[in-house]
Structure 1
Amino acid sequence: MKVQGAGNMGILLLVIMFMLKLSVKAQTVSYLINCGTNSSVNVEGRRWVGDTSPGNNVTISSSPGIEASTNVFNGDPVHEPLYRNARIFTEDLNYTFQVPNGDYFLRLHFCPLAFDGYNVNESYFAVEANGLKLVSEFNVPGEISEKNLNLLGSGARANSSYYYILKEYFFSVETNSIVVDFIPSRGSFGFVNAIEVIPEINKLFVDSVSRVGANGGNSSLNLSKRGIETMYRLNVGGSSVKPSRDSLWRKWETDSGYMINADAGSEIRNRSNITYANPNDTSVAPLVVYETARTLTNTEVMEKRFNMSWKLQIDPDFDYLVRLHFCELFYDKPNQRIFRIFIDNKTAADNFDVYVRAGGMNKAYHEDYIDSISSKNDNLWIQLGPDTTTGSAGTDALLNGLEVFKLSRNGNLAYVQTYNNVKARKTSRSLILWVGIGAGIASIAVLAGVSMLIVWFCKKKREENDTKKIPPAWRPLSLHGSVVNAKGSTSYQNLNGQLGTVRSGRRFTLTEIKLATNNFDESLVIGVGGFGKVYKGEIDDSTLVAVKRSNPQSQQGLKEFETEIEMLSKLRHRHLVSLIGFCDEQNEMILVYEYMSNGTLRSHLFGSDSQPLTWKQRLEICIGAARGLHYLHTGSERGIIHRDVKTTNILLDETFVAKMADFGLSKTGPSLEHTHVSTAVKGSFGYLDPEYFRRQQLTEKSDVYSFGVVLFEVVCARAVINPTLPKDQINLAEWAMRWQREKSLEKILDPRLRGNYSPESLMRFGEIAEKCLADEGKSRPTMGEVLWHLEYVLQLHEAWLRSNAGDYNSVSMVRDLGPIDEGESEVANSDSGEPLKANGDVADPMDPMAVGVDELSQMVNQQGR
């Protein structure tokens, strides 16, 4: 009896195990549907079944739409069998998949091909899954620019001839079925190429997640009631990972295209025996993701304030789950690499030690964070930087992988996105009718406008004839529509017809200007240019100023004059010459600047009897000028390109603080959708960017090139163009670059510096100048990077000075800047030690090159041009 009982127990156990296997098998059922056909195809080792194939266990609605196919396919041959077909629908369409309750991935494939009678540019539709809104007014344009491709997120894949969109969602099923509804917008249609339903039997997400920001703590995601959309999945520091290498058939993109500065992080890899820190995490990411990483580039800068930064386009007004993947590949002990994590400019974690959290080296580990994005923000910043407060051996950071997921809000994941190059759709006949009516009204308005224009033109001609009697040859500011407002500042209309405001705006009378300059006494002239003359003046309580009087006969001077008003009226920075006021009386156009008592940088390098500048002074002047240019490039939404960087436009005050001057040729930088400004070539010979000269495409890197010439001019103390020299020495940039490439820059050094400089600082200085003069703009550093390295060069020289003075305890160049405040990365102001950014506010953590400046004081005794 006991034996029989034991046998029964064994049979029972076998039955239980068999049922468990059946249960697991049921849980692993998946669907790969090839839409718009009854044919099955194989793609990357997986079999996709036609949505009308018999026995596919998929139910399509009674109005299945249209089966479409194309003979024209220029895309990836791997996906050709799958994307040649699509199901087009003009009425509601739904697919029903019978599945056990659980968690599932739903992937929708869209490839906008040319189908007879259907223009995908006019396709707009919505998609829902089990009542969860996935997309609304969704459009997959047939043609798309690189910028708009980025707007589609990591779901958009492209090559040179085509692209496709993969939308991936994750949600829980409690009804034993998944119903996917496709709903065309009124008067439009939609299409879908393929559908995936993939079960997730391991627990991929947990409900309790750390919240970023000051409040911190954990938040419950309530995932059983929320849907998730994958926005980005990046393999950091490595190549893309094909879906076939992922157990859940997920594709991992490379991260370099999303980094603010890809050079900020060095790629490392280690294919040793990597294992999961938690054995249940096998579905979180494949091990190949943890075999590569990015660590902070070794810049050899003692002040570690440099962050690796990723900028990701997201939909505003949603919660986001950020998943960071880590695996310590180098250090085999704790406290060797400790760093801080910032998400959306808020602290997510500090004192982060991967070795400690993962439980050792080569342990795959991940951390999740949740952040709420406001309705005004469409970018998500991820940053990792060193935590210098810990005293760890390596002030470094490390990241192996990055995922960003959007969480549904009130059952909605949809966000209406538009694209610049998509034609506006026609929604109904009534709209067409209204457009026709509007066109008729517009035609009448145009006729009336033409009539008025003719009348105005005739009147204008009469006024011009009258104006010719008024000398000089140009109209002063008052004739360009200037109006003094109630606050005493002046609004004016510039040459482009835009209304600007001179906010710095003290409005001088001509009598005050004549009194300040002793009636434009020639003995007070301190500069002459195409615009006219600059006089040294004295206003109010003996305050010295520089008075620029424009030459009425110079049309070029007029344009530069107005550009300078427009630029300086909105610029305030310690390293930019400040505009005090103006005068526009009696056909005069006069600007009043702060007085710079030590004149131009060039005058202290050569051509005068001035005391030669020390190497330290030259470095500090270059740093000041770089700060001013960095502010120009980054201090406004589109930035400003100076376009005339040279030593005569770098002015020095009584303490030799450098300030950039002369903004007459300056241009507003390109908008986000452009990489350059197309404009006629202007600048100074010898400093001109050759790429700008060839292509007539102006970028911030054109200023960087000119600044590189300035750096060599500071080293050599000679003119940039000197026709009296031998042929190979006429052009300073070419001559100095030859010596720099031979690592012999000291041979052409200003003789007055011999023995009074740090050889290592000169070597680093030459390397910076060489990088600035790279042939292609994309190979040159930004002004922020130039500034950062110049600061380091100064520290090298200061350490050398202390060493020569016998202060061997001061050789270390590390300056204690204190801990980084929440969400901030700092570079200290060498003057005050305070972490400020260009406009005097707290440094922005997403700007790793943020520099400190003092708040601009009241106008002081300094010189302007």
Structure 2
Amino acid sequence: MKLFWILYVASIHIFLRTALAQEKGPLFINCGSDSVFAAEGRKWVGDSVSRTGLSPSFIGIIAYTSAITVDEGYRSLYKTARIFNSSSHYNFTIVPGSYCIRLHFHPFIFESFNVNDSTFDVMANDLKLVSKFSVIREISLKNLMSNSSATSLVKEYFLNVSSNEIMIDFVPNSGSFAFVNAIEVIPVPAGLFIDVVNKVGDVGFKGLGGQGIETIYRLNVGGLEIDSSKDKLLWRKWETDESYMFSLNAASTLANHSNISYVSSSDSFAAPLLVYETARIMIDNEVIEKRFNMSWRFEVDPNFDYLVRLHFCELTYNTRSERVFRIYINNQTAADNYDVFVKAGGMNKAYHEDYVVGVSHQTDTLWLQLGPDTLTGIPSSDALLNGLEIFKLSHNGNLALGPERIDGFGEGAASKKHKSKSILAAIGVGSVSLLAISVSSAALFVFIWRNKRMSSMKQDNPPGWHPLYLHDTVGSTGNSKLRKSPLINTGSTNSNRIGRRFSLGEIRTATRNFDDALVIGSGGFGKVYKGEIEERNLIAVKRAHPSSNQGLAEFETEIEMLSKLRHRHLVSMIGYCEDENEMILVYEYMANGTLRSHLYGSNLPPLSWKQRVDACIGAARGLHYLHTGAERGIIHRDVKTTNILLDENLVAKIADFGLSKTGPALDHTHVSTAVKGSFGYLDPEYYRRQQLTQKSDVYSFGVVLFEVVCARPVVNPELPKDQINLAEWAVRWQRQRSIETIVDPRLEGDFSLESLKKFGEIAEKCLCDEGKNRPTIGEVLWHLEYALQLNEAYMQCRGDNTFTKNELKFADLSFSLPCIDMVENEPLQNISGETSSNLLGR
């Protein structure tokens, strides 16, 4: 037996020497390992078995674990890592050419090495890849941008090598250390990147020769995620594009699994054919107004050039001029009169198109938009996209961020003047208000270990590395000790959440094991179930679906918000459950469901005009509390009729705080943030500038008000194009002072015309294009109550003729109002003599 093991180890050494000395084939290195194994279609070689291919000065500490929290494919790969507490490097012998380098990072705590404190630089030959690099911080940013909950990170680079070696240096910053879990070094076909590319906005071209390239985004547009094992050439992973689209409602998906071929051999290197089998196209282009482009928004690093690679394959039309569109990159025309069929030379032919665009130091956003080319005169003009990649190009041998960008931690250019305060809002560091810390901490999902979990881990696992548990978290609150909480806490802490923590067993019992018969709603987060807990109390259980676009950040935000907010017109959170990787929120049960369900799309009886106005008043009161109840206020960011719920007494309450943001500080006018919300309700000023204010909620609420009047969807592509968008259509009628023309016919005139007009006036004010011209939600509330009093006066007058021209006193509003009959439309005055139009203009 002893002889067997000696021969076995010797054979492993011989194999590793051969693999690491390989000149032409790809190298897959499992750092901190002494074994060989297969994962994701590749054979990974441990770096501990042989020093062949590694620098003689190679040093490092081996870290390992017996438990891991990543997907099965990389589970074995991420069980080990190599830690460097001084400058060290890997040295690979290769033949000159182009190479792809991937660095794999999985956060961990090993003995005295806490990855929350790990920052380091990485160089590949003379190219600086990262500077002051924090894996924890990078994962947090990635999850925020893509609504994901990743626990690991892969950095991918392309470089041309003229020598016979690739040296990858890991340089810890002062007092810190570096680490890496795995390295890939893959030869790249010469045609993957061409030397000269069109530069958007300039007359000329951009030369790529000799530049380092970093992959920032790689998306399978309109399709599912493509695993790296399905890309046999370069083992690339392709994400879905949903998280990056400005509005999914502006596009539809297209699929065609017929025989697809590449236009040229160089195109065959660019992407697997799976990418070209799906696409996004514009929604019903026969009726949509021409300004409805398909749009994608990406966070990028300022002051770099970017290579934008678009993948195309015409899947529907077999003649030219059937699909002609424009391509816009960062609001500049990259191509017009673009016909995929003509470019490819036929249908089902796959190819890619490259553009270079510069991003200045004043912005950190890159937009891609595809839309109709109105100059072509083609009535059915449409757009199509199959895949998308964005690469960062090196500048003076550098791909790393500048120091000001690193310290700013992803802040927008507009807020760089207030850098220190932006950092506080972004990562929850420093002296900010209790609520701001909670929201910031939730957005970055602070990973904190509980006492019970820590004690069990110490019993179950040997000393050494402890993995990162995404779903065993608590949110930080105002405790100053938690303001700099690491994403992995080495100590224990108690939860400061308000609300009951349910076990998964209790939830299963309450919902009859998530019986579909109890489903009362569904959304981006997952399904909502009706449940029953002890003493026959009804609850609503919102359970996150594993493939949900909303993730841990939204889950934590909702808990942190509702733990601190208590108001009659806000849905109350009873508790939560996060056992066994579940994300479940438990609310009070709202017996009458959403406001929308009582307006259209169901068989429920229609609400009366009084009930509708009452519901809007309740929702406005809830929003007013959000905007004014805290030091900086809270912006809901997703006000719509499905997020206004009605209880058994039809009392309206605001729900769903997963996208909510703390308002701006006193010396700021807005919050710079990525655009999120629901199509049709989005504030156009917020969309254009990415500047969120309380007036953004006011705009969305204005759309809700017209939705209440008209009882129709906010966007309906099946209608004639001048009626598709409810807000624009209703405002046109309101400006003509003819809102009664579009009122829900089921109301059958059982309302005061003056009340309706007042209602329409305040709705119109809410939809002003510029936020400064919109009323506050408090002013909206006042006018809604005014409209309700007008209606009540009308109903009383109609029911009792003795009240004609008599004065009525209203308890809620301290003014007298003349009774309105069905014939006369006299101007309404308050006790100071001001007319209603004057009041509205305040």
Q: How does the TM-score come out when normalised to structure 2?
A: 0.51
Superposed CA offset, 1:665-703 (max 9, x none): 783899999983899x99999997534399997999776
Seen in structure 2, the aligned counterparts of structure 1 residues 784 and 301 have a Cα distance that, compared at 3 Å, is closer
Q: Secondary structure at the match of 1:141?
A: helix
Verify the 8 A CA contact 1:237 1:292 in the aligned structure 2.
yes
Verify the 8 A CA contact 1:31 1:198 in the aligned structure 2.
yes
Q: How does the TM-score come out when normalised to structure 1?
A: 0.50
Seen in structure 2, the aligned counterparts of structure 1 residues 329 and 192 have a Cα distance that, compared at 3 Å, is same
Seen in structure 2, the aligned counterparts of structure 1 residues 359 and 704 have a Cα distance that, compared at 3 Å, is same
1-structure distance, mates of 2:615, 2:286: 32
Superposed CA offset, 1:145-188 (max 9, x none): 5x55345x8xxx965xx511100000101011100000000110
Seen in structure 2, the aligned counterparts of structure 1 residues 706 and 65 have a Cα distance that, compared at 3 Å, is closer
2-structure distance, mates of 1:672, 1:288: 48
1:864 equivalent in structure 2: 839
Seen in structure 2, the aligned counterparts of structure 1 residues 400 and 65 have a Cα distance that, compared at 3 Å, is same
Q: CA deviation at 1:403?
A: 0.4
Q: Given the alignment of the two structures, is residue 234 of structure 1 paired with residue 209 of structure 2, yes or no?
A: no
1:149 equivalent in structure 2: 143
1:220 equivalent in structure 2: 207
Q: CA deviation at 1:216?
A: 3.5
Q: CA deviation at 1:314?
A: 0.7
Verify the 8 A CA contact 1:236 1:401 in the aligned structure 2.
yes
2-structure distance, mates of 1:678, 1:355: 40
Superposed CA offset, 1:180-228 (max 9, x none): 0000001100100000000012411111111112x3432222x22x100
Q: CA deviation at 1:240?
A: 0.7
Seen in structure 2, the aligned counterparts of structure 1 residues 363 and 185 have a Cα distance that, compared at 3 Å, is same
1:64 equivalent in structure 2: 59
Q: Which has the larger radius of gyration?
A: 1
2:160 equivalent in structure 1: 172
Seen in structure 2, the aligned counterparts of structure 1 residues 861 and 387 have a Cα distance that, compared at 3 Å, is farther
Verify the 8 A CA contact 2:97 2:160 in the aligned structure 1.
yes
Verify the 8 A CA contact 2:196 2:206 in the aligned structure 1.
yes
Letter in 2 for 1:130: N
Among all aligned residue pairs of Structure 1 and Structure 2, give the percentage whose two residues are the same amino acid. 43
2-structure distance, mates of 1:40, 1:344: 46
1:297 equivalent in structure 2: 283
2:712 equivalent in structure 1: 766
Seen in structure 2, the aligned counterparts of structure 1 residues 142 and 402 have a Cα distance that, compared at 3 Å, is closer
Superposed CA offset, 1:449-483 (max 9, x none): xxxxxxxxxxxxxxxxxxxxxxxxxxxxxxxxxxx
2-structure distance, mates of 1:790, 1:278: 51
2-structure distance, mates of 1:166, 1:72: 20
Verify the 8 A CA contact 1:644 1:703 in the aligned structure 2.
no
Seen in structure 2, the aligned counterparts of structure 1 residues 185 and 269 have a Cα distance that, compared at 3 Å, is same
Q: Give the alignment partner of residue 690 of structure 1, picking from 653, 659, 682.
A: 653
Q: Give the alignment partner of residue 170 of structure 2, picking from 151, 158, 182.
A: 182
Q: Give the alignment partner of residue 207 of structure 1, picking from 181, 195, 200.
A: 195
How does 1:691-770 map onto structure 2 within 5 Å?
691-692=654-655, 707=702, 710-711=705-706, 714=709, 766-768=712-714
Unaligned runs of 5+ in 2: 1-20, 411-613, 662-676, 682-696, 718-722, 742-763, 774-834
Superposed CA offset, 1:788-817 (max 9, x none): 56589999xx9xx9xxxxxxxxxxxxxxxx
Verify the 8 A CA contact 1:148 1:420 in the aligned structure 2.
no
1:394 equivalent in structure 2: 380
Verify the 8 A CA contact 2:286 2:379 in the aligned structure 1.
no
2-structure distance, mates of 1:182, 1:644: 60
2-structure distance, mates of 1:376, 1:278: 39
Verify the 8 A CA contact 2:644 2:654 in the aligned structure 1.
no
Seen in structure 2, the aligned counterparts of structure 1 residues 323 and 687 have a Cα distance that, compared at 3 Å, is farther
1-structure distance, mates of 2:703, 2:646: 14
Verify the 8 A CA contact 1:318 1:409 in the aligned structure 2.
yes
Seen in structure 2, the aligned counterparts of structure 1 residues 387 and 668 have a Cα distance that, compared at 3 Å, is farther
Superposed CA offset, 1:475-518 (max 9, x none): xxxxxxxxxxxxxxxxxxxxxxxxxxxxxxxxxxxxxxxxxxxx
Q: Give the alignment partner of residue 26 of structure 2, picking from 30, 43, 67.
A: 30
How does 1:116-515 map onto structure 2 within 5 Å?
116-141=111-136, 145=140, 149-150=143-144, 159=149, 163-213=151-201, 215-221=202-208, 223-224=209-210, 226-246=211-231, 247-298=233-284, 301=287, 303-415=289-401
Verify the 8 A CA contact 1:387 1:395 in the aligned structure 2.
yes
Q: Secondary structure at the match of 1:369?
A: strand
Verify the 8 A CA contact 1:336 1:394 in the aligned structure 2.
yes
Q: Secondary structure at the match of 2:229?
A: helix
2-structure distance, mates of 1:672, 1:337: 49
Q: CA deviation at 1:278?
A: 1.5
Verify the 8 A CA contact 1:709 1:769 in the aligned structure 2.
no
Verify the 8 A CA contact 2:139 2:152 in the aligned structure 1.
no
Verify the 8 A CA contact 1:124 1:188 in the aligned structure 2.
yes
Superposed CA offset, 1:44-79 (max 9, x none): 23110011223x742134241111112232222221
Seen in structure 2, the aligned counterparts of structure 1 residues 706 and 668 have a Cα distance that, compared at 3 Å, is same
Letter in 1 for 2:196: S
Seen in structure 2, the aligned counterparts of structure 1 residues 143 and 133 have a Cα distance that, compared at 3 Å, is closer
Seen in structure 2, the aligned counterparts of structure 1 residues 266 and 126 have a Cα distance that, compared at 3 Å, is same
2-structure distance, mates of 1:318, 1:265: 30
2:92 equivalent in structure 1: 97
Q: Secondary structure at the match of 2:108?
A: coil
Verify the 8 A CA contact 1:646 1:710 in the aligned structure 2.
no
Q: CA deviation at 1:116?
A: 1.6
Superposed CA offset, 1:716-753 (max 9, x none): xxxxxxxxxxxxxxxxxxxxxxxxxxxxxxxxxxxxxx
2-structure distance, mates of 1:71, 1:647: 54
Seen in structure 2, the aligned counterparts of structure 1 residues 129 and 791 have a Cα distance that, compared at 3 Å, is same
Verify the 8 A CA contact 1:644 1:683 in the aligned structure 2.
no
Verify the 8 A CA contact 2:89 2:167 in the aligned structure 1.
yes
Verify the 8 A CA contact 2:714 2:727 in the aligned structure 1.
no
2:627 equivalent in structure 1: 667
Verify the 8 A CA contact 1:36 1:50 in the aligned structure 2.
yes
Q: Secondary structure at the match of 2:76?
A: helix
Verify the 8 A CA contact 2:304 2:395 in the aligned structure 1.
yes
Verify the 8 A CA contact 1:42 1:48 in the aligned structure 2.
yes
Q: Given the alignment of the two structures, is residue 79 of structure 1 paired with residue 39 of structure 2, yes or no?
A: no
2-structure distance, mates of 1:233, 1:76: 19
Aligned-residue Cα RMSD (Å) equals: 4.7
Q: CA deviation at 1:30?
A: 1.3
Letter in 1 for 2:228: P
Verify the 8 A CA contact 1:230 1:406 in the aligned structure 2.
yes
Verify the 8 A CA contact 1:158 1:164 in the aligned structure 2.
no
Q: Secondary structure at the match of 1:272?
A: coil
Q: Secondary structure at the match of 2:351?
A: strand
Verify the 8 A CA contact 2:121 2:130 in the aligned structure 1.
yes
Q: Secondary structure at the match of 1:766?
A: coil
Superposed CA offset, 1:643-668 (max 9, x none): 9967999xxxxxxxxxxxxx987838
Superposed CA offset, 1:752-795 (max 9, x none): xxxxxxxxxxxxx6344999xxxxxxxxxxx9964256589999
Q: Secondary structure at the match of 1:289?
A: helix
1-structure distance, mates of 2:633, 2:618: 33
Q: CA deviation at 1:253?
A: 0.5
Verify the 8 A CA contact 2:228 2:236 in the aligned structure 1.
yes
Seen in structure 2, the aligned counterparts of structure 1 residues 73 and 861 have a Cα distance that, compared at 3 Å, is closer
Further displaced range: 291-300 or 696-705: 696-705
Seen in structure 2, the aligned counterparts of structure 1 residues 197 and 158 have a Cα distance that, compared at 3 Å, is farther
